[in-house]
Chains A and B, each alone.
Chain A
């Protein structure tokens, strides 16, 4: 990561390195892999069964779930996947927070830390800066990215809107982990109104 950001800022003679896309592929595979562990036949079929609470064929096949709990079982599995993804992002964020803040001077206040997230962290991981940072000055910050790199290949508009949240779990963990290393306990949630724009809401926990 060190060499990457340094190389890109120097321009490297106009040559573009392919390393940025490696993380995007890895992330796609991570989401696919973690999602695959749940009894989830597919987005179309699954959605109806989830809403009408009909036991799914796939769920009753597994010994641990009694028939009739199909919907609940799938939802619990999905929550587990999301928290596993978030946990991975958290550990990566902790390490990145340590590495990226190495060269900078000490931070004076919370807003400096959030600006570091929006500029340095986003630049290192996604090769772009956050598009906007808003705050209510009472510990809540909304970070908006109008063309989030992990969503930009999926759609541009409202298609696949239900699938988008699982692609944001890792990044929420990333933000939370980086904040944790820098000494700020927080709660990070993400929301998507229309791909590829998304908002991350950071709520600072006062201890």
Chain B
């Protein structure tokens, strides 16, 4: 279960950012922002590597003592960043991958919506409810 989910456009501005309501939400925004550097590094490393397999899932970007940050980049250079709680050790790599796949598929649906202009903030309720299902239930 994620604590914060963000969709960043190709030009590195946020299209969608949502975090669990806590006292200091800004720290999640800051973490997502700093993780963009790591994402860019990984993307350029992928470009230079001679490996045939180039994955969209970037894996763990960087761990802090409380949280872990995972990244995923699409072929259209849209980045998904997810922050999860470190204490939740039951969360495995496969689950994170499937969460990113769901995010990618919902993002594709948003893109195909004729009422959505590419580059705008995502306001789709369907996308919202999909993200809600991924986030920790905090009352």
B-binding residues in A (CB < 8 A): 91, 94-95, 97-99, 101-102, 104-108, 181-183
Which of B19-27, B73-81, B85-93, B123-131 forms part of the interface with chain A?
A: B73-81
Q: Is the CB of A99 within 8 A of B75?
A: no
Q: Which residues of B contact A104 (CB under 8 A)?
A: 75
Of the candidates A99, A106, A108, the one whose C-beta lies within 8 Å of that of B108 is A99
B38 at the binding interface (Cβ < 8 Å): no
Residue of A nearest to B48 (CB): A108
A-binding residues in B (CB < 8 A): 10, 46-47, 53-56, 73-77, 104-105, 107-108, 111-112, 114, 118
* Main DSSP-derived SS at the A contact region: loop
Q: Is the CB of B111 within 8 A of A182?
A: no
Of the candidates A99, A106, A183, the one whose C-beta lies within 8 Å of that of B111 is A99
Q: Is the CB of B54 within 8 A of A98?
A: no
Q: How many contacts A-B (CB < 8 Å)?
A: 46
Residue of B nearest to A1 (CB): B112
Q: Is the CB of B73 within 8 A of A98?
A: no
Min CB distance A113 to B, Å, is 9
* Main DSSP-derived SS at the B contact region: loop
Residue of B nearest to A107 (CB): B75
Q: A107-B75, A181-B76, A183-B76 are in contact. Are A98 and B112 (CB under 8 A)?
A: yes
**Docked complex Cα distance between A98 and B112 (Å):** 8
Q: A98-B107, A106-B46 are in contact. Are A182 and B112 (CB under 8 A)?
A: no
**Docked complex Cα distance between A94 and B111 (Å):** 8
Q: Which residues of B contact A91 (CB under 8 A)?
A: 114, 118
**Docked complex Cα distance between A91 and B105 (Å):** 18
Of the candidates A101, A102, A105, A183, the one whose C-beta lies within 8 Å of that of B10 is A183
Q: A97-B76, A183-B10 are in contact. Are A105 and B108 (CB under 8 A)?
A: no
Q: Is the CB of B118 within 8 A of A94?
A: yes
Q: Is the CB of A98 within 8 A of B47?
A: no
Q: Which residues of B contact A97 (CB under 8 A)?
A: 76
Q: Which residues of B contact A99 (CB under 8 A)?
A: 108, 111-112
**Docked complex Cα distance between A182 and B73 (Å):** 12
Closest 9 A/B residue pairs (Cβ) = A106-B54, A101-B75, A98-B111, A95-B112, A181-B76, A105-B54, A99-B108, A98-B108, A95-B111
Q: Is the CB of B105 within 8 A of A102?
A: yes
Min CB distance B18 to A, Å, is 21
Of the candidates B53, B75, B105, B108, the one whose C-beta lies within 8 Å of that of A182 is B75
Q: Which residues of B contact A102 (CB under 8 A)?
A: 74-75, 104-105, 108
**Docked complex Cα distance between A51 and B107 (Å):** 50
**Docked complex Cα distance between A108 and B47 (Å):** 6
Min CB distance A97 to B, Å, is 6
Q: Which residues of B contact A94 (CB under 8 A)?
A: 111, 118
Residue of B nearest to A99 (CB): B108
Q: Is the CB of B46 within 8 A of A98?
A: no
Min CB distance A66 to B, Å, is 37
**Docked complex Cα distance between A58 and B55 (Å):** 59
**Docked complex Cα distance between A104 and B107 (Å):** 16
